[in-house]
């Protein structure tokens, strides 16, 4: 089994490991929001041999499933930062 096959299996939408990872991401995000601290996840691409673009990268579909701040998450962080900066000024 090659790396691509392992990753497709590991990060399949219904994979127990992926579901547990999503829950862990939610918990990290919630903890960061409670304490006004950012949570930064860096997704580093596997360096498959060859020349790849954003459109042709073999694990593009996997990378697109990773969480991104949206809606309430993004606004929670923004509101939290505003409160922190106001407290720092007083």
- Tally of helices (H runs) and strands (E runs) in the chain: 4, 0
pLDDT at 16: 93
Number of domains in the chain: 1
CA neighbor of 25 nearest in space, from 58, 57, 70, 59: 70
- Domain of residue 68 covers 3-89
Measure the CA–CA gap between 53 and 68, rounded to whole angstroms.
21
pTM (2 d.p.): 0.60
Question: For the residues 46-51, what does the mean pLDDT come to?
Answer: 86
Read off the pLDDT of residues 58-70 as tens digits, 9 standing for 90 and up: 888 888 877 666 5
C-alpha–C-alpha distance, residues 47 and 35, integer Å: 35
- The Cα–Cα gap between 59 and 77 comes to 29
> What is the Cα–Cα distance from 90 to 88, expressed in whole angstroms?
6
* Tens of pLDDT, residues 4-41: 898 889 889 899 988 998 888 888 888 888 888 888 87
């Amino acid at each position: 089994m090659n790396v691509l096959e392992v990753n497709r299996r590991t990060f399949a939408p219904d994979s127990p490991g992926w579901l547990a990872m999503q829950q862990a991401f939610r918990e990290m995000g919630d903890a960061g929001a409670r304490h006004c601290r950012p949570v930064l996840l860096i997704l580093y691409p596997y360096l498959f041999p060859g020349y790849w673009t954003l459109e042709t990268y073999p694990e593009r579909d996997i990378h697109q499933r990773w969480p991104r701040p949206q809606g309430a998450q993004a606004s929670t962080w923004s509101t939290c930062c505003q409160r922190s900066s106001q407290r720092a000024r007083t």
